[in-house]
Structures are given as C-alpha cells and as structure tokens.
Structure 1
Amino acid sequence: MTQRHLTAYPADDHDHHDDLNNLGLQADAGMLLRPPLDRRRVLGLGLLGGIGLLMGGGAVARGTGIAVAGSKGSGACPAAIPGETAGPYPADGSAASGQSLNVLTRSGIVRRDLRTSLGTGHVATGVPLTLNLKLVNVNASCAALPGYAVYVWHCTDDGEYSMYSRNIVAEDYLRGVQTARADGTVTFQTVFPGCYPGRWPHIHFEVYPTLASATSAANRIQTSQLALPQAACAAVYATAPYAASGGNLSRITLSSDNVFSDGVGSQMPTMSGSARAGYTANLTVGLAR
C-alpha cells in the first residue's frame, strides 16, 4: 500500500488543560501483553442497557455540543465494558510484534487531534471522525470518572498502523491520550479507520487511573475495543481512498470477528453524520471501580 498525506490541519481548539498536559511522560518498565479477559457474563444486561441509553437522553460533552448517552441521571447504566486484546500494534510499552515500542512517552502524545504525526508533521487522510467517550463507574450508579486517562489508537484509511506497518514506521499519527473532564468525557478528532482482512472495523483504547500513570501498559486498568456500525462503514468505504476496505468488509461479519463474535452490546457507539461531512461516534464506557 502506498503512503498518502494531506496538508496540515488548522490548530486544534482543544481545552487549555490539554496544552498543560502536552508534555512527554517518564517511561515505566514494559510488560508482556496480558491475555484477554473473560468476557460478557452480563451481555444480556449490556444489551438492555444499550437500548435504555438510546431512549434515556444524556449529558453534553463540554466543547463538543454532542450528547453522550448513558450519563448519570439518564436512568440507564451500561454494563462494564469487556476486556479485549490490545492486538499486535499497541505501542504502549508492552511486547508486541517482536518489539516494545512506546508512543506514550513521546512529547505531544497528550492531544485531542490524532491526525498529525508528531515527528514528521505528516497528516493521515480519511473521512473525519470525532470520537466522544464517557467514562463511568458501574459500581457507583454510573458516576463520572474525571481525571482518568484514555489512550486511543487505530489503523489508517488503508488498514495500516503507524510505527509498525512498513510504509509508515516513521509516523505516529492516529494515536493519542486525553484526560477525562469533570463529566468523565474525552474527545478525539481523528479519521474513520479502514477495514483490513480478517477484522471488523474497530478502534482500540486503554484506560489509566491518572494521566501520570499513562506511560506504560503496565499501569492500564482496562483494554478494550469499540466496533464501528456497519451502515457508517459501508457509506465510508464507498468513497476514496477506502477502495480496499469495502471488499474486506464484505468478507467479515461481527459474528465471525475473533473479538466481537460474542457480542458488542457495550462496544457499539451511536453514530451521526455522513461520509461527506464526517461522523461523530459516542460511547459510554462502563468501568468497575
């Protein structure tokens, strides 16, 4: 696959506290990837919770104007999100793909806009995607979890991972960390991921108890993935430069995916937007704290 870049985007309008956090963090010792956790003993509850969220309203994430379902006071609380494998390309200090790469220690990794590579300034192409996550404590009536940190990463529009794939080993875009605001929300500006052979379109993320601890996978308290809705994927993959993704999507289903085959009741975000204007994805992430 060939590498593609766009001209730089305008400066991000992220919150001022992001600027203060936009510093390198001291690396901790790496550790091997822990195995995937036992999943979905409460899948049925998660599905009911998801239905309740769609009917219950929600709070607005500050600075986004987007309602995030499942907020405290909506009358619904999602099941705790299941643990998933970080996969072969986490760049979180753990041993993966024969390496122990760690983007979490790089200056500038705490950011809202993930599209620009910190080292080269190159910008990832693709349909714009705004990702809103709301962290809540399922053991406390889904109270918000401010101050927790979320590390997000995903593939490019043509299914490659920065820092690992041969064509983009020098890039570190589509990776970044945010700190949850007072209402438990984090927002990332990125691009819609492509679909590569054998996997349903997805986004990886890890949760850390504090920003200071978000320097190594050794400190994470949860690793999971969100599954992108089929309708949005089909619309995006009908456009360039996602030509290969459409064919890959036609050969995979949620039920045959090795991660999502046991259900996505708490991992499927609500989506709004279009392939032309860009999409917004909202997901409430339940954590057992």
Structure 2
Amino acid sequence: MHRHDGDEVHEHDRGLSHDFPVLARRRMIRLMAGASLIPLVGCSAQEETPASSSSSSSAASSGRPPSSSSAAECATVPDETAGPFPGDGSNGVNVLKESGVVRSDITRSFGDSAGGTAEGVPLTVTLTVVDAASGCGTPKKGAAVYLWHCDRDGNYSLYSEGVTEENYLRGVQETDDKGRVTFTSVFPGCYAGRWPHIHFEVYGSLADATAARSLTNTSQLAFPEEACEAVYASDGYGESVRNLSGLSLETDGVFGDGHDRQLATMTGGVTEGYTATLTVAV
C-alpha cells in the first residue's frame, strides 16, 4: 500500500498538519459570512427548539432533504479543503477538461490513461443536491458534481506513485430532476492521518464543471465507522485496519468540527456492495 505519511507523495496529503491552514481560512470566511446568512440558511444552535433540533438530526442521519417544517434548520454543506489531489486544474493536472470524464461508472480509467481498473468492495454513491435558500426543499436540477477519492490502497490516480497514468475513481455527473447524481465505484481505503472519505465539488452546470470554472462548493463525504470496519476486514484492505484504528471522526482534521451534514447513510454489505447516500445543500 502506498503510505501517505512520510513519503514524498504524502508531503501533499498528511491530514491536519497540511490542511489546517486551508481549513482555518475557509472556516473563518464561513463564520464571517454566516452572520449575514443565518436568516437565509438556518438558525443558530441557541435558536433551535428541542423539536426542531430533533427533526434536523433525523433528516441529516437519513440523508433525505428536510421537510418544510424543518426548513429553518437547513444549512449549506460545510466547505472543506479539496486536498492536494483534486485533478481539477487547481493543483497541476486537470481531468475535468478531458473527454470521457462525464460518466457514472468511475471504476475504470478512460482516454489515453493506462486503462486500469480500481479493485475493492463495490460502492454506489448517490448525492442529492438541494437549494439551501429554499429550505432544502428544492432540488438543484442541472447542477453538476465532480467526485473523486483514493483507491483501496490509499492512492489517488494522477498523483500517487504507481498510478500517475491512471484517472480512475474520478468522474462528473449532471443532476437530474430530483437533484441527484449517482456514481458506481469501490469503497476507498483508509490511509494514515485521515478518516475514510470522498471528495466532491459542486458546479452550477455541466458546462461549468467540464470547463473547470464557477465552482460553487467543495466538501467531503464521511463514512460511518461500522461500514468501514466491515469493509476493511475483507481482502485487499489490510493496512486500512491499522490506519483506521488510530482515527475517529471527532479527531479527524476535516470532520472533527462537526460532520452531521457530511456523514453518509449506508445500506448493503460487503458481499453485495454498499450504497452511500447524502443530501448536499448548496
């Protein structure tokens, strides 16, 4: 397995020590902006009633858009670092402008790349993009999502040693009438320093995404611990067991400040594969 802590690749992805300056800057901007946006996208914690807090928690855990009764608690998905391996042109290579990046099955490389296939426990990821300003009740039809993650060895295509010629586990989809995009993938491994996760960017349209312009949101999806433990007990994920044992969502450099709006709802199992669902308010 490619280790990210201590080798030349992980100099760019070593968890909190690398990402903290970016996270701090983004969160400060978000806090400053939040003072004026609270009336539009949600109530502060002090303003929540017990009933509304429970409703918001239930919606977040189910992965469903909140009902109209919980519209006051709707808030945008947290902004997070894209990390050092986005492949969106902000850090070297730009896969978004390559023909073939618009696809639902991201397990294989495409175009002039090496043509490899990522192995692992099957995973289907469905994100539902909704409008936060409308109380999360309005789907964002015609938006676009760029999604990427590491393979079961913890390597990122286009960047990590041994897979620089691959571009698997990266793809773009346009949201349908219900604001949904679905990707077929494999469960990512856990590398040292980071809780298992998936990166994604939201764009206003498919044209914007494939031109790598007008990015609106950058965030990450987190996996529940139970699903991670089950997957990592299967063949091919050996080092993920050790890496996960020293981590938690609460101490992760990205999810440690709160992950209610980023924790996926999981169904399925190791044999038949998992499905991860998340509602993303933008």
Give the TM-score normalised by structure 1: 0.77
Number of the residue aligned with 1:258:
253
Number of the residue aligned with 2:59:
53
Structure 2 residues not aligned, in runs of 5+: 3-20, 35-42
Number of the residue aligned with 2:5:
none
Using a 3 Å threshold, how does the CA distance of structure 1 residues 138 and 48 change in structure 2: closer, same or farther? Answer: farther
Counterpart pick for 2:158 among 159, 163, 183: 163
Using a 3 Å threshold, how does the CA distance of structure 1 residues 94 and 47 change in structure 2: closer, same or farther? Answer: farther
Counterpart pick for 2:127 among 125, 129, 133: 133
Are the counterparts in 2 of residues 94 and 217 from structure 1 also a CA contact under 8 Å? Answer: no
Number of the residue aligned with 1:19:
none
Partner Cα separation in structure 2 for residue 147 and residue 264 of structure 1? 26
Partner Cα separation in structure 2 for residue 49 and residue 110 of structure 1? 36
Which amino acid letter does the alignment assign opposite residue 117 of structure 1? S
Partner Cα separation in structure 1 for residue 146 and residue 97 of structure 2? 12
TM alignment of 1:263-282, pairs within 5 A: 263-282=258-277
Give the TM-score normalised by structure 2: 0.79
RMSD after superposition: 2.5
Are the counterparts in 1 of residues 148 and 170 from structure 2 also a CA contact under 8 Å? Answer: yes
Number of the residue aligned with 1:94:
90
Aligned residues: 241
Are the counterparts in 2 of residues 50 and 266 from structure 1 also a CA contact under 8 Å? Answer: no
Structure 1 residue 120 displacement after superposition: 2.9
- SS of the aligned residue for 1:167 comes to coil
Number of the residue aligned with 2:181:
186
Structure 1 residues not aligned, in runs of 5+: 3-33, 58-67
Counterpart pick for 1:112 among 75, 100, 104: 104
Are the counterparts in 2 of residues 110 and 178 from structure 1 also a CA contact under 8 Å? Answer: yes
Partner Cα separation in structure 2 for residue 108 and residue 196 of structure 1? 28
Are the counterparts in 2 of residues 94 and 216 from structure 1 also a CA contact under 8 Å? Answer: no
Partner Cα separation in structure 2 for residue 163 and residue 127 of structure 1? 22
Using a 3 Å threshold, how does the CA distance of structure 1 residues 155 and 49 change in structure 2: closer, same or farther? Answer: farther
Are the counterparts in 1 of residues 149 and 197 from structure 2 also a CA contact under 8 Å? Answer: yes
Partner Cα separation in structure 1 for residue 56 and residue 135 of structure 2? 15
Structure 1 residue 256 displacement after superposition: 1.5
Are the counterparts in 2 of residues 112 and 189 from structure 1 also a CA contact under 8 Å? Answer: yes
Counterpart pick for 1:79 among 75, 78, 89: 75
Q: Which has the higher helix share?
A: 2
Structure 1 residue 35 displacement after superposition: 4.1
Using a 3 Å threshold, how does the CA distance of structure 1 residues 120 and 54 change in structure 2: closer, same or farther? Answer: same
Number of the residue aligned with 1:242:
237
Q: Does 1:209 align with 2:204?
A: yes
Structure 1 residue 121 displacement after superposition: 2.7
User: Identity over aligned residues, as a percent?
Assistant: 47
Partner Cα separation in structure 2 for residue 43 and residue 132 of structure 1? 28
Structure 1 residue 214 displacement after superposition: 0.7
Using a 3 Å threshold, how does the CA distance of structure 1 residues 189 and 47 change in structure 2: closer, same or farther? Answer: farther
Q: Deviations over 1:27-66 (max 9, x none)?
A: xxxxxxx9442257678579755523268x8xxxxxxxxx
Are the counterparts in 2 of residues 226 and 269 from structure 1 also a CA contact under 8 Å? Answer: yes
